[in-house]
Chain A
Amino acid sequence: MQFENPATTNPIDQLKVIGKPIHRIDGELKTTGRAMYAYEWHDPNLRYAYGYPVGSAIAKGQVTSIDSAAAKKAPGILGVVTTLDVGDLQKGKLNTAKLFGGSEIQHYHQAVAVVVAETFEQARAAAALIMVDYAPEKGAFDLRVEMANAKTPDPSSEPDSSAGDFHKAFSAAAVTLDAEYTTPDQSHAMMEPHASIAAWNGDEVTVWTSSQMIDWWRSDFAITLGMDKEKVHLMSPFIGGGFGGKLFLRADPVLAAFAAKAVGRPVKVALPRPMISNNTTHRPATIQRIRIGAERDGKITAIAHESWSGDLPGGGPETAVMQTRLLYAGENRMTAMKLATLDLPEGNAMRAPGEAPGLMALEIAVDEMAEKLGMDPVEFRIKNDTQVDPENPDRPFSHRDLIGCLRRGAEKFGWDQRTNPATRREGNWMIGMGVAAAFRNNLVMPSGARVKLDQDGIVTVETDMTDIGTGSYTIIAQTAAEMMGVGVDKVAVQLGDSRFPVSAGSGGQFGANSATSGVYAACVKLREAIASKLGFNSADVKFENGEVKSGNRVVRLDEAAGEEGLVGEDTIEWGDLTKTHQQSTFGGHFVEVGVDVATGETRIRRMLAVCAAGRILNPITARSQVIGAMTMGAGGALFEELAVDTRHGFFVNHDLAGYEVPVHADIPHQEVIFMDEIDPYSSPMKAKGVGELGLCGVSAAIANATYNATGIRVRNYPITLDKLIGELPNVA
Chain B
Amino acid sequence: MRAFTYERASSVEAAAVAAAQNADAKFIAGGTNLLDLMKLEIEKPSHLIDVNGIDLDTIERTQDGGLRIGALVRNTDLAADVTVRRDYGLLSRALVAGASGQLRNKATTAGNLLQRTRCPYFYDPNQPCNKRNPGSGCSAIGGVTRHLGVVGVSEACLATHPSDMAVAMRALDAVVETVKPNGEKRSIPMADFHRLPGDTPHIETALEHGEFITNVVLPSPIGGKQIYRKVRDRASYAFALVSVAAVIHSDGSGKVAVGGVAHKPWRIEAAEAELPNGARAMASALLADARPTEENKFKISLTERTLAAVLSEAKG
Contact = CB atoms under 8 A, between A and B. Distances in A.
A122 to B, nearest CB: 8
Contact of A731 (B2, B146, B237, B308): B308
A721 B298 CA distance: 9
B199 interface: no
Interface string B134-163: 000001001110100000000000000000
B306 interface: yes
Interface of A is mostly: loop
Interface stretch (B66-74, B119-127, B207-215): B119-127
A59 to B, nearest CB: 10
B308 A125 contact: no
Interface stretch (A142-150, A259-267, A386-394, A722-730): A722-730
Contact of A599 (B143, B144, B305): B305
A75 interface: yes
A663 B233 contact: no
Interface centre among A75, A665, A722 (most CB of B within 10 A): A722
B278 interface: yes
A643 B144 contact: yes
A660 B143 contact: no
A539 interface: no
A125 B2 contact: yes
Interface residues of B, number: 40
A598 B308 contact: yes
A718 B231 CA distance: 16
B288 interface: no
Contacts of B304: 732
B232 A722 contact: no
Contact of A274 (B2, B40, B234): B40
Interface stretch (A29-37, A164-172, A288-296, A650-658): A650-658
A721 B120 contact: no
A647 B128 CA distance: 13
B305 A598 contact: yes
Given A645-B143, A721-B298, A728 B235 contact: no
Nearest to A602: B233
A666 interface: yes
Contact of B1 (A125, A647, A662): A125
Contact of B298 (A601, A655, A658, A725): A725
Given A75-B3, A598-B308, A663-B237, A725 B144 contact: no
- Chain A interface category by residue count: 35 or more
B212 to A, nearest CB: 28
B41 A603 contact: no
A7 interface: no
A732 B302 contact: no
Interface of B is mostly: loop
Contacts of B146: 643, 722
Contacts of A664: 236
Contact of B231 (A648, A666, A721): A721
Contact of B301 (A603, A644, A648, A725): A725
A319 to B, nearest CB: 28
Contact of B305 (A647, A648, A732): A732
B48 interface: no
A720 interface: yes
B301 A726 contact: yes
A720 B41 contact: no
A666 B309 contact: no
Contacts of A732: 278-280, 304-305, 308
A599 B302 CA distance: 6
Contacts of A644: 144
Interface of A: 57, 75, 121, 124-125, 128, 274, 428, 596, 598-601, 603, 638-639, 643-645, 647-648, 652-655, 657-658, 660, 662-666, 718, 720-722, 725-726, 728, 731-732
28 contacts: A75-B3, A125-B1, A274-B124, A598-B308, A601-B232, A603-B235, A638-B233, A639-B234, A643-B120, A645-B143, A647-B142, A647-B143, A658-B120, A660-B238, A663-B237, A665-B235, A718-B233, A721-B231, A721-B241, A721-B298, A722-B146, A722-B298, A725-B298, A725-B305, A726-B298, A731-B279, A731-B312, A732-B305
Given A125-B2, A274-B124, A718-B233, 19 more contacts: A57-B126, A274-B40, A428-B309, A599-B309, A601-B233, A601-B235, A603-B235, A639-B234, A644-B144, A645-B143, A645-B144, A657-B118, A658-B123, A664-B236, A666-B235, A721-B302, A722-B298, A725-B298, A732-B280
Q: Which 3 A-B pairs have the closest CB atoms?
A: A598-B309, A722-B298, A665-B235
